[in-house]
Structure 1
Amino acid sequence: MRPPFDPTLYLVTDTQLCAPRPVADVVRAAVAGGVTAVQVRDKGASRRDLLALTRAVQEAVAEVPGVAVVVNDAVDVALLAAADGVHVGQEDLPATEVRALIGPRRLLGLSVSSPAEIAAALALPTGTLDLVGVSPVWGTPTKPDAGPALGLDGTRELAAAARAGGLTAVAIGGIGADRAAEVAATGVDGICVVSALCAAADPASAARKLRRELSRGVPAEVYR
């Protein structure tokens, strides 16, 4: 059985944006404000440092039940840390092989940026994926190599396809409090943010504001 996963407000960490504060301190505050899941991402870290970072984040969320900790790309780190899951991109290890490595009890997410990529994700064997990250909604400096912006209509199209195929969909890319409600209204299950929380002077307050905006964009009967 896979761990509980609430994607409503999904924080993707950025060590440089958090600095000079430790990432774990930012995560702890953001979770106190309403973050429901955390993806540990640091492209410049060694595997040893990424493992230490993942464990620090796990400790930071340990007192809040149900907050999943997912590792970006690094399957080996996720296994060593006993993380809740892994998220991979289109250029990373194939999802079917990652699933074989992590087993049936961890979450697996995959980034998708086009109708062709969501179709390929849905064609994978049942149980391979739990989540697709729909990206980028808008351009963002935290991921300059991302593909063309999907906009709200493109995000809505991919989210609908994911939901029809039984997958959870989260949106990422250029989302702040000023845009959270309109992204939530596209039908995604949650939003991913980086700079909106990592660069915030008060991550707890910023997370609370994002949650308020999300509640405006999602019908009350489906809002978590």
Structure 2
Amino acid sequence: MTIRVLLADDQAMIRASLRIILEDQPDICVVAEAADGAEAVALARRLRPDVCLVDIRMPRLDGIEVTRALARPGLADPLRVVMVTSFDLDEYVYGALRGGAVGFILKDAGPGLLVEAVRAAHAGDALVAPSVTLRLLRHIAAAAAPPAREPARPLSERETEVVRAIARGRTNQEIAAELFISLSTVKGHVSAVQAKLGVRNRVEVAAWAWETRLTDAP
């Protein structure tokens, strides 16, 4: 199955570079490009791409507003949005996460991580660049976070370990290797955690971990 991607960035050179990287993959095609946030929302609603790659800072609507319009919790048929950011814009990422984004990558992260983030989003998973995760941990640890929801049922010791790993930006494969368990077991723990927390994806699991200080700030 071909993964249909929408690119939203106000810089034509960035869009062209992303298109080249993505369309070099046999399972990915770029179906549309948007130069501002309002155009991104209109195109995404009309074309219903599998994944939207959205820059944070754009004219008319910024990336957070685009994410809320397309992916916020409560929408009948939300789209999968992956936020593209740079080091000096990390303060916006937390708002996008709460708005429903399912991934965060840095513009200088490299082609491999870009492709992995698109595939993860399409598969219903999420990918957070570890360096973004660490910067967010510092930011949240230094601020007074709002009270986090209590899980419907207490997390097991193993589930807590998985949550900590997710909050550090680890993939399922990396978690399996770190904890010496199978990939299917990791997926089972992630599903159980999401059900207990009442969240939709692993990005929201990471947000919960940050809010509850479950993961120590680096």
TM-score of the two chains, using structure 1 as the length reference:
0.36
Larger Rg: 2
Q: Which has the higher contact order (CA 8 A, sep 6+)?
A: 1
Higher helix share: 2
TM-score of the two chains, using structure 2 as the length reference:
0.37
